[in-house]
């Protein structure tokens, strides 16, 4: 018996004992709506996700949330008691110490806002809404609907006011601003550095305080509004725009906070109801809390009249909604493919917006004139190919020159970049096939195949001492072991390079036996599904379940370290200290990975509309599709210990494949997975494997 099976047997025995002590409920979640199951505080403590409980709206650039001392990447720490104030944007879950935090507002008592402390004593939040109470009797509540929001403060009688700092941003990222004061209103624009300080974005805003209070300047960027000593309530309306301050003014919502909160709640529920799960209520809470995280970005940047600004800062107009705020290198693997399934109406605009980047001076990181906060856009070409093959319109003919320019500028200096760049070469080769340009398709195919020389040079021999060291040989975030699997477009070729299927399986087994896999970051995120290209696909079924819902051992972290002590436990937990230490959600990337695993299928290779199957985490999962269609995944013999697929049917007929396509999902129907507690080692399924060779 191989060591891998001994380990699996021991883990299975341990899990059976744990599961026997757990009370599992396999019934519908009940009358509760998905929005009521969301925990917005998940991942908001320490370096465990870098998420915030800010009041937000699906894909809105406006999110009103607290700034605490101390803070995390989004400006908020769940355990912190001291609040500095509140701001109006943040990029959820990203690294480089985060970014955003513009338009800082602080309610205060007395005459000096800096001497008035806000110490938290109560707090609650739901999607679209956040409220907090302080020791000094100030209470604050916020609601967001689209790109408009409202502040409501309750304050004791006496001297008090509202302090505003237009020069505030995370980590000194503020660049410049201009504003106009008109009594109780302020409007203008703010420029700040983007995530990692790579470029700049400009946001326009309009802000008004209700009542007789007027804004008075204290210095260049700081203002104050004194409130009547007998007044016990204050309201502020605010809206953001990428177009102009006047557009922001037209977006201001002057309804009361309960109406805004209720509509935002309804809209969040509509979005979260794209997927319906049946099963354990606690599992459903985790599922919807993570699904919520996949809908924070990218941001809507166009106005109702179709106006928007591109990444050159130019004013444009189109009938299709435009988006910005990208973290594509992080979430092209999971979040964007998920959005292609659950929000197809929005995804068309997202794909058009990504294609637009090539028309307005795309860079891997931000430009100097971004219309919103953003991160990075590597592998955008892969996303466009993937979308086209999923039926989304992409006019490649208009951007081929820009695509080629980007590909010719790719970096091959380090081993990881060589493999990453080869992925983009593959995508361009496939695009030229679509355009029926055989000469260029073959040229970029040959460029792609050069990955083999890079792979043989750095990744074939894993006997060297540095193969499990973070950042060895100039790697960005990962080890030689973790990056050696990054050939998603040619798994067939990778197996041949590794010496055939037996040798490939031996290396893959060793990778997991030695706990070399790193779920704290993305470089090896696809590896758990890579048994599916062999006759031992049941091992992928095992690892997908293990990583999503059971105890694992993790040794590597997102700060480019191999920890002194192993992490032993679950990765996904519905609590403020969720995820692994240092693990970022990366704009919904890690949340979407879980949503896929829980649903029973995950992307096989972005660029192909193919998903590998695994046993879901619920007895049934239903994707509610356009035009009243549904795609339902039912699990027969559902139990947390039944992690292996025994057989599958689609609409009552035997389904002899280990994968399903986007078209099959979009057609609707019922996929029934018969699960088993023991692996099915001899299978007659058709296994999908990526290959460059036709």
**DSSP H helices in 578-671:** 589-599, 662-666
What confidence score (pLDDT) does residue 29 get?
Answer: 63
Using DSSP's 3-state secondary structure scheme, residue 328 falls into helix
Domain annotation covers residue 127: yes
361: pLDDT confidence band, cut at 50, 70 and 90?
Answer: confident
Quick check: is 318 in a domain? no
**Is pLDDT above 90 for 11?**
no
Residue 236 inside a domain? The answer is yes
Q: What is the mean pLDDT of residues 58-66?
A: 98
The CATH number assigned to the domain holding 642 equals: 3.30.2080.10
- Asked whether residue 463 is domain-assigned, the answer is yes
- Give the per-residue pLDDT at 13: 35
| Pair 229, 352 in one domain | no
CA distances (Å), 111 to each of 159, 215, 249, in order? 7, 15, 30
pTM of the model: 0.95
User: Per-residue pLDDT averaged across 614-625, rounded?
Assistant: 98
CA-to-CA separations, 545 to 65, 372, 510, 639, in angstroms, rounded: 34, 37, 19, 12
Closest CA to 690 of 351, 422, 408: 422
Q: Quick one: 267 and 330 in the same domain? A: no
CATH number at 61 reads 2.70.98.10
Q: Look at residue 519 and tell me whether its pLDDT is greater than 80.
A: yes
265 and 340 assigned to the same domain: no
Q: 655-674: per-residue pLDDT in tens? A: 999 999 999 999 999 999 99
CB neighbour list of residue 526: distance below 8 Å, 6 or more residues apart: 333, 485, 486, 488, 603, 605
Q: Are residues 336 and 209 in the same domain?
A: no
For residue 530, pLDDT beyond 50: yes
Average pLDDT over residues 167-194: 95
What confidence score (pLDDT) does residue 331 get? 95
Question: Do both 559 and 652 map to the same domain?
Answer: yes
Mean pLDDT across 141-160: 98
Task: Evaluate the omega torsion of the peptide bond into residue 70 and state whether it is cis, within 30 degrees of 0.
Answer: yes
264, 144 in Cβ contact below 8 A?
yes
Query: Are 341 and 258 part of one and the same domain?
Result: no
Query: CA angle, 661 as apex, 657 and 662 as ends, to 5°?
Result: 160
Beta carbons within 8 Å of 534's beta carbon, 6+ residues apart: 495, 501, 504, 505, 687
Residues 231 and 341 in one domain: no
- Same domain for 395 and 260: no
Domain residue limits at 467: 325-360+372-676
Domains of the chain: total: 2
**Looking at the domain assignment, is residue 366 inside a domain?**
no
Query: Are 263 and 331 contained in the same domain?
Result: no
What is the bridge-based pairing of β-strands 200-209 and 185-193? antiparallel
How many Cα atoms within 13 Å fall on the side-chain side of residue 285?
13
H helices within 321-473, ranges in order?
Answer: 328-331, 335-342, 344-357, 380-389, 400-408, 415-434, 438-449, 451-458
Residues 462/485, Cβ–Cβ less than 8 Å: no
Selected residue with higher pLDDT from 346 and 30: 346
Q: What is the pLDDT of residues 397-434, one digit of tens each?
A: 999 999 999 999 999 999 999 999 999 999 999 999 99
List the single range of 21-30, 136-145, 257-266 with lowest mean pLDDT.
21-30
What stretches of 550-687 show up as alpha helix (H) in DSSP? Answer: 589-599, 662-666
Asked if residue 340 and residue 191 are part of one domain, the reply reads no
Q: Is residue 27 in some structural domain?
A: no
Residue 135 is predicted with a pLDDT of: 98
Q: Does one domain contain both 458 and 528?
A: yes
In DSSP notation, 479-493 reads -HHHHTT--TT-HHH
Mean pLDDT throughout 183-190?
97
Please tell me the predicted confidence (pLDDT) of residue 212.
87
pLDDT for residue 141 is more than 70: yes
Neighbours of 302 (CB within 10 A): 25
Cis peptide before 262 (omega within 30 of 0): no
* Mean of pLDDT values over 329-335: 96
**What are the tokens at 25?**
């409920």
Which of 230, 249, 272 terminates a domain? The answer is: 272
Run of H or E including 635: strand 630-636
> Percent of the chain, pLDDT > 70?
96
Same domain membership, residue 538 and residue 403: yes
Report if residue 339 sits inside a domain: yes
| Assigned domain for 692 exists | no
Looking at every residue in the chain, the average pLDDT score rounds to 94
pLDDT of residue 170: 81
């Amino acid at each position: 018996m191989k060591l891998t099976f001994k380990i699996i047997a021991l883990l299975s025995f341990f899990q059976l004992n744990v599961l026997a002590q757990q009370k599992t409920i396999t019934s519908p979640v009940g009358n509760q709506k998905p929005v009521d199951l969301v925990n917005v505080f998940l991942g908001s403590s320490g370096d465990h996700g870098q998420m915030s409980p800010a009041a937000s709206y699906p894909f809105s650039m406006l999110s009103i949330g607290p700034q605490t001392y101390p803070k995390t990447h989004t400006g908020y720490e769940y355990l912190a008691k001291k609040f500095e104030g509140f701001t109006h944007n943040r990029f959820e879950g990203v690294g480089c110490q985060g970014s955003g935090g513009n338009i800082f507002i602080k309610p205060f008592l007395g005459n000096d806002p800096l001497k008035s402390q806000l110490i938290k004593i109560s707090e609650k939040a739901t999607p679209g809404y956040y409220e907090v109470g302080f020791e000094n009797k100030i209470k604050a509540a916020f609601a967001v609907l689209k790109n408009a929001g409202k502040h409501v403060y309750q304050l004791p009688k006496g001297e008090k006011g509202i302090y505003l700092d237009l020069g505030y941003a995370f980590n000194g990222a503020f660049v410049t601003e201009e504003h106009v004061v008109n009594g109780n209103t302020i409007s203008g624009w703010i420029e700040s550095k983007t995530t990692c300080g790579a470029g700049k974005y400009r946001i326009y805003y309009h802000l008004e305080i209700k009542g007789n209070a007027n804004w008075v300047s204290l210095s260049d960027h700081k203002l104050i509004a004194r409130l009547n000593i007998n007044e016990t309530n204050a309201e502020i309306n605010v809206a953001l725009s990428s177009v102009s301050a006047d557009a922001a003014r037209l977006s201001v919502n002057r309804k009361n906070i309960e109406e805004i909160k209720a509509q935002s709640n309804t809209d969040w529920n509509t979005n979260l109801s794209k997927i319906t799960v049946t099963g354990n209520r606690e599992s459903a809470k985790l599922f919807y809390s993570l699904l919520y995280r996949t809908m924070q970005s990218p941001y809507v940047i166009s106005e109702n009249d179709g106006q928007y600004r591109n990444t050159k800062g130019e004013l444009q107009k189109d009938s299709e909604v435009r988006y910005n705020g990208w973290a594509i290198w992080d979430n092209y693997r999971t979040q964007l493919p998920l959005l292609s399934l659950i929000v197809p109406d929005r995804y068309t605009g997202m794909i058009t917006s990504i294609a637009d980047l090539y028309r307005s001076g795309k860079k891997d990181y931000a430009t100097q004139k971004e219309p919103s906060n953003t991160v990075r856009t590597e592998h955008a070409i892969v996303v466009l190919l993937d979308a086209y093959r999923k039926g989304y319109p992409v006019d490649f003919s208009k951007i081929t020159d820009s695509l080629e320019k980007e590909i010719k500028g790719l970096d091959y200096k380090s081993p990881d970049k060589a493999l990453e760049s080869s992925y983009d070469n593959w995508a361009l080769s496939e695009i030229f096939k679509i355009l029926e340009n055989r000469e260029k398709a073959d040229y970029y195919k040959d460029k792609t195949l050069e990955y083999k020389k890079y792979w043989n040079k750095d990744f074939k021999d894993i006997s060297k001492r540095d193969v499990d060291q973070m950042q060895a040989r100039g790697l960005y975030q990962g080890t030689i072991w973790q990056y050696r699997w990054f050939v998603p477009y040619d798994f067939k070729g990778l197996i041949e390079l590794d010496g055939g299927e037996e040798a490939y399986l031996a290396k893959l087994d060793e990778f997991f036996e030695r706990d070399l896999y790193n779920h704290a970051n993305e470089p090896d995120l696809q590896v758990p599904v890579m048994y599916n290209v062999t006759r031992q696909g049941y091992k992928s079924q095992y690892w997908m379940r293990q990583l999503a819902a059971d105890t694992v051992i993790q040794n590597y972290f997102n700060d480019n370290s191999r920890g002194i002590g192993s992490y032993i436990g679950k990765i996904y937990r519905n609590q403020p200290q969720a995820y692994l230490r240092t693990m970022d959600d990366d704009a919904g990337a890690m949340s979407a990975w879980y949503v896929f695993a829980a649903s029973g299928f995950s992307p096989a290779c972005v660029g192909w509309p193919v998903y590998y199957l695994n046993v879901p985490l619920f007895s049934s999962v239903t994707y509610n599709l356009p035009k009243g269609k549904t795609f339902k995944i039912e699990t027969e013999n559902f139990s947390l210990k039944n992690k292996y697929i025994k057989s599958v049917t689609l609409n009552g007929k035997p389904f002899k494949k280990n994968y399903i396509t986007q078209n099959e999902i979009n057609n609707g129907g019922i996929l029934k997975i018969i699960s088993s507690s023991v692996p099915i080692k001899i299978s007659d399924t058709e296994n999908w494997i990526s290959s460059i060779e036709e």
